[in-house]
Amino acid sequence: MFENTALRFATAGREVPMNTRVAVVGIIVEKEESVPLLNAVLHEYGPHIIGRMGVPYRAKNINIISIAIDAPQDIINAMSGKIGKLDGVSATIAYSKQK
């Protein structure tokens, strides 16, 4: 087993270990119309997601979502970037210091 390697990607017919990072992606949803698109992005990255917690904040009419993820850093950045491009949705990443 590879240390700090939860994922393996096929390259040229063989498995190659990829170093992963653990991170939390904080998401704020201000436009409910964007929820189906957000869920589509999260589904796309589902194999990397460890867990998800959503909190509706009714007083401000927003939703707060946290995503725990274990993936290569470029995959985490790509997911957060796609989420941040959605209308009325913002995202930020906090990485574990452990590499």
Residue 48 maps to which CATH number?
3.30.70.1150
Contact between residue 23 and residue 93 where contact means Cβ atoms under 8 Å apart: yes
Q: How many domains does the chain have?
A: 1
Domain extent for 55: 19-95
How does pLDDT run across 24-72, given as a tens digit for each residue?
999 999 999 999 999 999 999 999 999 999 999 999 999 999 999 999 9
Confidence (pLDDT) at 49: 96
Q: Whole-angstrom Cα distance, residue 72 to residue 74? A: 6
Q: Is residue 53 part of a domain?
A: yes
In a domain, 80, yes or no: yes
User: DSSP for 48-64?
Assistant: GEEEEEEEEETTTTEEE
Q: Is 9 within a domain?
A: no
Query: Using 50, 70 and 90 to split pLDDT, how confident is the model at 74?
Result: very high
